Structure 1
Amino acid sequence: MSFHDVRLPARLAFGSTGGVERRTEIVTLGSGYERRSTPWAQGRRRYLIGANLRSLDDMAALTEFFEARRGRLYGFRFRDFADFKSCAPGAVVSAADQALGTGDGLRTRFDLIKRYGEGEGEDALERRVRKPVAGTVRVAVAGVELDAGGFTVDAATGEVTLAAAPPVGAAVTAGFEFDVPVRFDADRIEVTLESFEAGRMAAVPLIEVRV
Protein backbone atom coordinates (compact mmCIF):
# COMPACT_ATOMS: atom_id res chain seq x y z
CA MET A 1 0.00 0.00 0.00
CA SER A 2 1.16 3.57 -0.71
CA PHE A 3 1.90 5.03 2.71
CA HIS A 4 4.33 7.68 3.97
CA ASP A 5 5.35 7.09 7.58
CA VAL A 6 5.05 10.75 8.61
CA ARG A 7 2.55 12.46 10.88
CA LEU A 8 0.53 15.55 10.04
CA PRO A 9 1.95 18.36 12.25
CA ALA A 10 -0.28 18.85 15.30
CA ARG A 11 -0.69 22.60 14.77
CA LEU A 12 -2.35 21.94 11.41
CA ALA A 13 -4.95 19.70 13.11
CA PHE A 14 -6.13 22.15 15.80
CA GLY A 15 -9.87 22.71 15.47
CA SER A 16 -10.33 19.48 13.52
CA THR A 17 -13.65 17.65 13.68
CA GLY A 18 -14.44 14.02 13.05
CA GLY A 19 -15.03 10.62 14.53
CA VAL A 20 -16.06 7.05 13.77
CA GLU A 21 -18.50 5.95 11.11
CA ARG A 22 -20.00 2.52 10.69
CA ARG A 23 -22.09 0.92 7.96
CA THR A 24 -25.31 -0.75 9.07
CA GLU A 25 -27.77 -2.37 6.69
CA ILE A 26 -31.37 -2.36 7.96
CA VAL A 27 -34.25 -4.33 6.49
CA THR A 28 -37.73 -3.63 7.85
CA LEU A 29 -39.87 -6.77 7.80
CA GLY A 30 -43.58 -6.86 7.09
CA SER A 31 -44.22 -7.39 10.78
CA GLY A 32 -42.46 -4.11 11.62
CA TYR A 33 -39.44 -5.82 13.13
CA GLU A 34 -36.00 -4.93 11.81
CA ARG A 35 -33.14 -7.10 10.65
CA ARG A 36 -29.82 -5.33 11.12
CA SER A 37 -26.40 -6.41 9.87
CA THR A 38 -23.08 -4.85 8.92
CA PRO A 39 -20.46 -5.72 6.29
CA TRP A 40 -17.81 -3.88 8.37
CA ALA A 41 -16.06 -5.62 11.24
CA GLN A 42 -14.40 -2.31 12.20
CA GLY A 43 -15.48 1.32 12.19
CA ARG A 44 -13.78 3.86 9.94
CA ARG A 45 -12.63 7.32 11.01
CA ARG A 46 -13.25 10.54 9.08
CA TYR A 47 -11.95 14.01 9.88
CA LEU A 48 -12.11 17.59 8.62
CA ILE A 49 -9.02 19.76 9.11
CA GLY A 50 -7.81 23.20 8.06
CA ALA A 51 -11.04 25.17 8.50
CA ASN A 52 -9.68 27.01 11.57
CA LEU A 53 -6.33 27.94 10.03
CA ARG A 54 -5.85 31.68 9.56
CA SER A 55 -2.08 32.08 9.29
CA LEU A 56 -0.79 32.08 5.73
CA ASP A 57 2.29 30.22 6.97
CA ASP A 58 0.15 27.40 8.42
CA MET A 59 -1.94 27.21 5.26
CA ALA A 60 1.25 27.04 3.20
CA ALA A 61 2.51 24.24 5.46
CA LEU A 62 -0.70 22.25 4.97
CA THR A 63 -0.52 22.82 1.21
CA GLU A 64 3.09 21.61 1.24
CA PHE A 65 2.11 18.48 3.20
CA PHE A 66 -0.79 17.88 0.77
CA GLU A 67 1.51 18.21 -2.24
CA ALA A 68 4.09 15.86 -0.71
CA ARG A 69 1.35 13.22 -0.34
CA ARG A 70 0.25 13.86 -3.95
CA GLY A 71 -3.29 14.57 -2.80
CA ARG A 72 -5.12 11.29 -2.21
CA LEU A 73 -2.28 9.09 -3.45
CA TYR A 74 -0.28 8.46 -0.26
CA GLY A 75 -1.48 7.79 3.26
CA PHE A 76 0.07 9.25 6.40
CA ARG A 77 -0.24 9.31 10.20
CA PHE A 78 -2.83 11.47 11.97
CA ARG A 79 -3.28 11.97 15.71
CA ASP A 80 -6.93 11.74 16.75
CA PHE A 81 -6.83 13.83 19.94
CA ALA A 82 -10.04 12.16 21.16
CA ASP A 83 -8.56 8.65 20.89
CA PHE A 84 -4.78 8.27 20.73
CA LYS A 85 -3.88 6.23 23.80
CA SER A 86 -4.43 2.73 25.15
CA CYS A 87 -6.12 4.47 28.09
CA ALA A 88 -8.30 7.57 28.38
CA PRO A 89 -6.78 10.69 26.73
CA GLY A 90 -6.18 12.36 30.09
CA ALA A 91 -4.69 9.28 31.78
CA VAL A 92 -1.08 8.09 31.85
CA VAL A 93 -0.18 5.10 29.68
CA SER A 94 0.39 1.95 31.72
CA ALA A 95 1.80 -1.45 30.73
CA ALA A 96 -1.42 -2.99 32.09
CA ASP A 97 -3.83 -0.98 29.88
CA GLN A 98 -4.72 -3.58 27.24
CA ALA A 99 -4.61 -7.38 27.16
CA LEU A 100 -2.71 -8.73 24.13
CA GLY A 101 -2.99 -12.44 24.84
CA THR A 102 -1.86 -15.31 27.02
CA GLY A 103 1.49 -17.11 26.92
CA ASP A 104 1.74 -20.71 25.74
CA GLY A 105 5.46 -21.17 26.29
CA LEU A 106 6.24 -20.81 22.56
CA ARG A 107 4.60 -17.68 21.18
CA THR A 108 6.67 -14.48 21.17
CA ARG A 109 4.70 -12.23 18.79
CA PHE A 110 1.60 -10.31 19.80
CA ASP A 111 -0.44 -7.63 18.01
CA LEU A 112 -1.20 -4.35 19.76
CA ILE A 113 -4.93 -4.19 20.46
CA LYS A 114 -7.30 -1.65 21.95
CA ARG A 115 -10.66 -2.86 23.26
CA TYR A 116 -13.89 -0.86 23.28
CA GLY A 117 -16.91 -1.87 25.32
CA GLU A 118 -17.57 -3.52 28.64
CA GLY A 119 -15.11 -6.23 29.64
CA GLU A 120 -14.27 -8.94 27.14
CA GLY A 121 -17.79 -10.16 26.45
CA GLU A 122 -19.92 -9.97 23.34
CA ASP A 123 -20.19 -6.20 23.68
CA ALA A 124 -16.43 -5.62 23.44
CA LEU A 125 -14.80 -4.73 20.12
CA GLU A 126 -11.11 -5.29 19.39
CA ARG A 127 -9.27 -2.75 17.24
CA ARG A 128 -5.87 -3.63 15.83
CA VAL A 129 -3.44 -0.79 16.42
CA ARG A 130 -1.07 -0.75 13.44
CA LYS A 131 0.62 2.63 13.88
CA PRO A 132 1.97 2.88 17.43
CA VAL A 133 4.06 5.91 18.31
CA ALA A 134 7.72 4.97 18.66
CA GLY A 135 9.02 5.09 22.23
CA THR A 136 5.58 5.02 23.90
CA VAL A 137 4.94 1.25 24.03
CA ARG A 138 5.14 -0.44 27.45
CA VAL A 139 4.74 -4.21 27.84
CA ALA A 140 4.20 -6.45 30.86
CA VAL A 141 4.13 -10.24 31.32
CA ALA A 142 2.20 -11.63 34.29
CA GLY A 143 1.96 -8.10 35.67
CA VAL A 144 5.72 -7.44 35.56
CA GLU A 145 6.77 -4.67 33.18
CA LEU A 146 9.58 -5.56 30.78
CA ASP A 147 12.55 -3.29 30.25
CA ALA A 148 13.45 -1.95 26.81
CA GLY A 149 15.57 -5.01 26.03
CA GLY A 150 12.72 -7.40 26.68
CA PHE A 151 10.75 -6.61 23.53
CA THR A 152 10.78 -4.84 20.18
CA VAL A 153 7.93 -3.08 18.38
CA ASP A 154 7.35 -2.77 14.65
CA ALA A 155 6.04 0.80 14.39
CA ALA A 156 4.76 0.10 10.86
CA THR A 157 2.54 -2.87 11.80
CA GLY A 158 1.95 -2.71 15.56
CA GLU A 159 3.48 -6.14 16.18
CA VAL A 160 5.32 -6.71 19.47
CA THR A 161 8.07 -9.35 19.60
CA LEU A 162 9.16 -10.52 23.04
CA ALA A 163 12.75 -11.56 23.68
CA ALA A 164 11.49 -14.66 25.51
CA ALA A 165 8.24 -16.59 25.17
CA PRO A 166 5.92 -15.98 28.15
CA PRO A 167 5.20 -19.07 30.26
CA VAL A 168 1.93 -20.95 29.85
CA GLY A 169 -1.00 -18.94 31.20
CA ALA A 170 0.94 -15.69 31.69
CA ALA A 171 -1.04 -12.59 30.69
CA VAL A 172 0.65 -10.28 28.18
CA THR A 173 -0.48 -6.66 28.42
CA ALA A 174 0.61 -3.35 26.94
CA GLY A 175 0.09 0.38 26.96
CA PHE A 176 0.87 2.77 24.11
CA GLU A 177 0.10 5.86 22.11
CA PHE A 178 -0.92 5.48 18.47
CA ASP A 179 -1.78 7.31 15.26
CA VAL A 180 -4.55 6.68 12.75
CA PRO A 181 -3.46 5.83 9.19
CA VAL A 182 -5.35 8.23 6.90
CA ARG A 183 -5.23 9.84 3.48
CA PHE A 184 -6.67 13.03 2.07
CA ASP A 185 -10.16 12.44 0.72
CA ALA A 186 -9.97 15.20 -1.88
CA ASP A 187 -7.51 16.12 -4.60
CA ARG A 188 -8.04 19.84 -4.12
CA ILE A 189 -7.25 22.49 -1.48
CA GLU A 190 -8.91 25.92 -1.51
CA VAL A 191 -7.46 29.03 0.17
CA THR A 192 -9.03 32.49 0.32
CA LEU A 193 -6.75 35.49 0.91
CA GLU A 194 -8.41 37.84 3.45
CA SER A 195 -5.46 40.18 4.12
CA PHE A 196 -1.74 40.33 3.43
CA GLU A 197 -1.05 38.17 6.48
CA ALA A 198 -4.20 36.11 6.93
CA GLY A 199 -6.53 33.94 4.94
CA ARG A 200 -9.17 31.28 5.16
CA MET A 201 -9.02 27.65 4.06
CA ALA A 202 -11.91 25.39 3.15
CA ALA A 203 -12.11 22.26 5.34
CA VAL A 204 -9.96 19.43 4.00
CA PRO A 205 -11.35 15.89 4.48
CA LEU A 206 -9.32 12.93 5.73
CA ILE A 207 -10.40 9.29 5.78
CA GLU A 208 -8.90 6.30 7.60
CA VAL A 209 -7.23 3.68 5.40
CA ARG A 210 -6.89 -0.03 6.05
CA VAL A 211 -3.25 -1.09 6.39
Structure 2
Amino acid sequence: MNFHDVRLPKFVEVFALGQPEFATSVITTISGREVRNLDREAAQQKYLLKNCRLSQGQFEQFNSFFRARRGQSFSFRLRDHADCQVTKQFIATGDGKSTKFPLIKLYDDSVLPYWRKITKPVKDSVNIYIENQLVEAIIDDNNGIITIHEVLATGLVLMADFIFDVCVRFGSDSFTYNYAADNSIELAEIELYEVIA
Protein backbone atom coordinates (compact mmCIF):
# COMPACT_ATOMS: atom_id res chain seq x y z
CA MET A 1 0.00 0.00 0.00
CA ASN A 2 1.28 3.48 -0.86
CA PHE A 3 1.18 4.90 2.67
CA HIS A 4 3.01 7.80 4.28
CA ASP A 5 3.08 7.59 8.08
CA VAL A 6 2.17 11.25 8.56
CA ARG A 7 -0.97 12.88 9.88
CA LEU A 8 -3.13 15.54 8.24
CA PRO A 9 -2.51 18.79 10.14
CA LYS A 10 -4.94 19.22 13.04
CA PHE A 11 -5.99 22.72 11.92
CA VAL A 12 -7.48 21.05 8.81
CA GLU A 13 -8.76 17.86 10.51
CA VAL A 14 -11.14 19.81 12.76
CA PHE A 15 -13.18 20.81 9.68
CA ALA A 16 -13.78 17.18 8.63
CA LEU A 17 -17.36 15.93 8.45
CA GLY A 18 -17.38 12.14 8.96
CA GLN A 19 -19.56 9.59 7.19
CA PRO A 20 -19.49 5.80 7.68
CA GLU A 21 -20.78 4.11 4.53
CA PHE A 22 -21.85 0.52 3.93
CA ALA A 23 -22.61 -0.93 0.49
CA THR A 24 -26.05 -2.52 0.16
CA SER A 25 -27.83 -3.79 -2.93
CA VAL A 26 -31.61 -3.28 -2.78
CA ILE A 27 -33.88 -5.17 -5.17
CA THR A 28 -37.63 -4.55 -5.23
CA THR A 29 -39.75 -7.49 -6.33
CA ILE A 30 -42.89 -7.20 -8.47
CA SER A 31 -44.98 -7.50 -5.30
CA GLY A 32 -43.18 -4.48 -3.82
CA ARG A 33 -41.12 -6.37 -1.27
CA GLU A 34 -37.46 -5.54 -0.84
CA VAL A 35 -34.51 -7.90 -0.87
CA ARG A 36 -31.40 -6.32 0.67
CA ASN A 37 -27.91 -7.76 0.34
CA LEU A 38 -24.91 -6.42 2.26
CA ASP A 39 -22.20 -6.11 -0.41
CA ARG A 40 -19.45 -5.01 1.98
CA GLU A 41 -19.32 -6.18 5.60
CA ALA A 42 -17.19 -3.28 6.84
CA ALA A 43 -18.19 0.37 6.64
CA GLN A 44 -15.83 2.63 4.72
CA GLN A 45 -15.26 6.03 6.30
CA LYS A 46 -15.59 9.09 4.13
CA TYR A 47 -14.77 12.64 5.18
CA LEU A 48 -15.53 16.03 3.73
CA LEU A 49 -13.38 19.06 4.54
CA LYS A 50 -15.93 21.85 4.42
CA ASN A 51 -15.99 25.54 5.37
CA CYS A 52 -12.25 25.36 5.87
CA ARG A 53 -10.58 28.78 6.22
CA LEU A 54 -6.83 28.90 6.75
CA SER A 55 -4.23 31.54 7.46
CA GLN A 56 -1.50 32.04 4.86
CA GLY A 57 0.91 29.93 6.92
CA GLN A 58 -1.65 27.14 7.42
CA PHE A 59 -2.44 27.13 3.71
CA GLU A 60 1.26 26.81 2.84
CA GLN A 61 1.50 23.82 5.19
CA PHE A 62 -1.63 22.14 3.75
CA ASN A 63 -0.56 22.85 0.17
CA SER A 64 2.82 21.23 0.87
CA PHE A 65 1.09 18.25 2.50
CA PHE A 66 -1.22 17.73 -0.51
CA ARG A 67 1.63 17.99 -3.02
CA ALA A 68 3.81 15.59 -0.99
CA ARG A 69 0.99 13.01 -1.13
CA ARG A 70 0.82 13.57 -4.91
CA GLY A 71 -2.96 13.97 -4.71
CA GLN A 72 -4.58 10.54 -4.41
CA SER A 73 -1.32 8.59 -4.74
CA PHE A 74 -0.33 8.18 -1.08
CA SER A 75 -2.58 7.54 1.89
CA PHE A 76 -1.94 9.10 5.30
CA ARG A 77 -3.29 9.32 8.84
CA LEU A 78 -6.39 11.32 9.82
CA ARG A 79 -7.55 11.78 13.41
CA ASP A 80 -11.37 11.61 13.52
CA HIS A 81 -11.80 13.66 16.68
CA ALA A 82 -15.38 12.43 17.14
CA ASP A 83 -14.36 8.74 17.05
CA CYS A 84 -10.74 8.07 17.94
CA GLN A 85 -10.43 6.59 21.42
CA VAL A 86 -11.47 3.55 23.47
CA THR A 87 -11.01 2.54 27.10
CA LYS A 88 -10.85 -1.04 28.39
CA GLN A 89 -11.96 -2.44 25.03
CA PHE A 90 -12.39 -6.22 24.94
CA ILE A 91 -9.91 -7.65 22.42
CA ALA A 92 -9.93 -11.43 22.87
CA THR A 93 -10.43 -14.38 25.17
CA GLY A 94 -7.40 -16.66 25.47
CA ASP A 95 -7.36 -19.94 23.55
CA GLY A 96 -4.12 -21.24 25.06
CA LYS A 97 -2.31 -20.91 21.69
CA SER A 98 -2.21 -17.30 20.52
CA THR A 99 0.17 -14.44 21.25
CA LYS A 100 -0.93 -12.07 18.44
CA PHE A 101 -4.25 -10.23 18.36
CA PRO A 102 -5.71 -7.47 16.16
CA LEU A 103 -6.90 -4.25 17.77
CA ILE A 104 -10.64 -3.76 17.41
CA LYS A 105 -13.32 -1.32 18.48
CA LEU A 106 -16.81 -2.47 19.44
CA TYR A 107 -19.85 -0.42 18.45
CA ASP A 108 -22.26 -2.05 20.86
CA ASP A 109 -25.82 -2.94 19.94
CA SER A 110 -28.22 -5.37 21.63
CA VAL A 111 -29.22 -6.94 18.28
CA LEU A 112 -26.10 -6.90 16.08
CA PRO A 113 -22.86 -5.41 17.49
CA TYR A 114 -20.33 -4.09 15.00
CA TRP A 115 -16.60 -4.77 15.29
CA ARG A 116 -14.21 -2.37 13.59
CA LYS A 117 -10.65 -3.41 12.79
CA ILE A 118 -8.15 -0.78 13.96
CA THR A 119 -4.98 -0.66 11.86
CA LYS A 120 -3.50 2.72 12.78
CA PRO A 121 -3.16 3.02 16.56
CA VAL A 122 -1.35 6.12 17.78
CA LYS A 123 2.21 5.44 18.90
CA ASP A 124 2.56 5.10 22.69
CA SER A 125 -1.21 5.40 23.27
CA VAL A 126 -1.90 1.67 23.67
CA ASN A 127 -2.21 0.02 27.08
CA ILE A 128 -2.79 -3.74 27.21
CA TYR A 129 -4.48 -5.56 30.09
CA ILE A 130 -4.88 -9.24 30.93
CA GLU A 131 -7.63 -9.71 33.50
CA ASN A 132 -7.41 -5.96 34.27
CA GLN A 133 -3.67 -6.16 34.99
CA LEU A 134 -1.48 -3.89 32.86
CA VAL A 135 1.06 -5.96 30.87
CA GLU A 136 3.85 -5.22 28.43
CA ALA A 137 3.21 -5.93 24.76
CA ILE A 138 4.56 -5.04 21.33
CA ILE A 139 2.20 -2.91 19.23
CA ASP A 140 2.60 -2.56 15.47
CA ASP A 141 1.52 1.03 14.77
CA ASN A 142 0.96 0.28 11.07
CA ASN A 143 -1.32 -2.73 11.26
CA GLY A 144 -2.76 -2.72 14.79
CA ILE A 145 -1.42 -6.15 15.77
CA ILE A 146 -0.73 -6.71 19.48
CA THR A 147 1.96 -9.24 20.39
CA ILE A 148 2.11 -10.36 24.02
CA HIS A 149 5.17 -12.11 25.43
CA GLU A 150 3.44 -15.34 26.50
CA VAL A 151 0.52 -17.36 25.17
CA LEU A 152 -2.80 -16.01 26.45
CA ALA A 153 -4.09 -18.79 28.67
CA THR A 154 -7.50 -20.28 27.93
CA GLY A 155 -10.31 -18.13 29.28
CA LEU A 156 -8.22 -15.08 30.20
CA VAL A 157 -9.50 -11.77 28.84
CA LEU A 158 -7.30 -9.36 26.88
CA MET A 159 -8.34 -5.69 26.87
CA ALA A 160 -6.85 -2.43 25.59
CA ASP A 161 -6.99 1.35 25.85
CA PHE A 162 -5.88 3.24 22.75
CA ILE A 163 -6.21 6.24 20.48
CA PHE A 164 -6.39 5.56 16.75
CA ASP A 165 -6.17 7.28 13.39
CA VAL A 166 -7.85 6.38 10.11
CA CYS A 167 -5.85 5.62 6.97
CA VAL A 168 -7.26 7.90 4.25
CA ARG A 169 -6.38 9.33 0.85
CA PHE A 170 -7.48 12.44 -0.96
CA GLY A 171 -10.51 11.89 -3.19
CA SER A 172 -9.04 13.85 -6.09
CA ASP A 173 -5.71 14.74 -7.64
CA SER A 174 -6.49 18.45 -7.31
CA PHE A 175 -8.18 20.86 -4.93
CA THR A 176 -9.72 24.31 -5.26
CA TYR A 177 -9.03 27.32 -3.06
CA ASN A 178 -9.60 31.07 -3.09
CA TYR A 179 -8.27 34.13 -1.33
CA ALA A 180 -10.97 35.70 0.86
CA ALA A 181 -11.56 39.38 1.69
CA ASP A 182 -10.45 38.83 5.31
CA ASN A 183 -7.01 37.63 4.10
CA SER A 184 -7.82 33.99 4.88
CA ILE A 185 -7.64 31.28 2.25
CA GLU A 186 -10.73 29.14 1.81
CA LEU A 187 -10.54 25.53 0.67
CA ALA A 188 -13.42 24.27 -1.40
CA GLU A 189 -14.93 20.92 -0.44
CA ILE A 190 -12.22 18.26 -0.28
CA GLU A 191 -13.14 14.59 -0.02
CA LEU A 192 -11.11 11.99 1.88
CA TYR A 193 -11.68 8.22 1.59
CA GLU A 194 -10.66 5.53 4.04
CA VAL A 195 -8.18 3.05 2.59
CA ILE A 196 -9.10 -0.41 3.84
CA ALA A 197 -6.10 -2.74 3.96
Query: Match of 1:52?
Result: 52
Is 1:3 aligned with 2:3?
A: yes
Distance 1:199 1:73 in 2: 25
Q: What's the offset of the Cα at 1:105?
A: 2.4
| Higher strand residue share | 2
Identity %: 32
- 2:178 aligned partner: 192
Q: Normalised by the size of structure 1, how large is the TM-score? A: 0.88
C-alpha distance after superposition, 1:33-74 (max 9, x if no partner): 211111101011111226322312212211110001000000
Partner Cα distance (1:3, 1:190) in 2? 24
Contact 1:13–1:50, Cα closer than 8 Å, also in 2: no
TM-score calculated relative to the size of structure 2:
0.93
SS of the counterpart of 2:39? coil
Is the CA contact 2:17–2:50 (under 8 Å) kept in the aligned structure 1? no
Q: CA deviation at 1:18?
A: 2.3
SS at match of 2:66: helix
Give the AA of the match of 1:191.
Y
* Mapping for residues 15-26 of structure 1, pairs under 5 Å: 15-26=15-26
Tell me what 2:41 maps to: 41
Shift of 1:113: 0.6
Match of 2:151 among 152, 162, 165: 165
Unaligned runs of 5+ in 2: none
Check 1:50–1:29 CA distance in 2 against 1; reply closer, same or farther (3 A cut): closer
Return the offset for 1:161. Answer: 0.2
Count of residues in correspondence between the two structures? 197
The aligned counterpart of 1:144 is 133
Distance in 2, matches of 1:177 and 1:169, equals 26
Q: CA offset at residue 102 of structure 1? A: 1.4
Q: For 2:97 and 2:22, locate their aligned partners in 1 and report how far apart those are by CA, in whole Å.
A: 37
How far is 1:143 from its partner?
Answer: 2.3
| Partner in structure 1 of residue 194 of structure 2 | 208
Q: Aligned equivalents of 1:6 and 1:199: distance in 2?
A: 23
> Which amino acid letter does the alignment assign opposite residue 139 of structure 2?
V
Counterpart AA for 1:186: S
Corresponding residue SS for 1:132: coil
Corresponding residue SS for 1:18: strand
In 1, distance between residues paired with 2:94 and 2:54?
52
Separation in structure 1 between the aligned mates of residue 54 and residue 125 of structure 2, nearest angstrom? 32
Aligned to 1:115: 106
Tell me which residue corresponds to 1:131: 120
| Whole-angstrom CA distance in 2 between matches of 1:116 and 1:207 | 21
2:142 is the counterpart of 1:153: no
| Equivalent position of 1:90 in the other structure | none
Q: Name the SS for the 2:67 alignment partner.
A: helix
In structure 1, what is the Cα distance between the partners aligned to 2:132 and 2:125?
Answer: 18
The ranges of structure 1 where at least 4 consecutive aligned residues each deviate by more than 6 angstroms after the TM superposition are none
Contact in 2 for aligned 1:12/1:50 (Cα 8 Å)? no
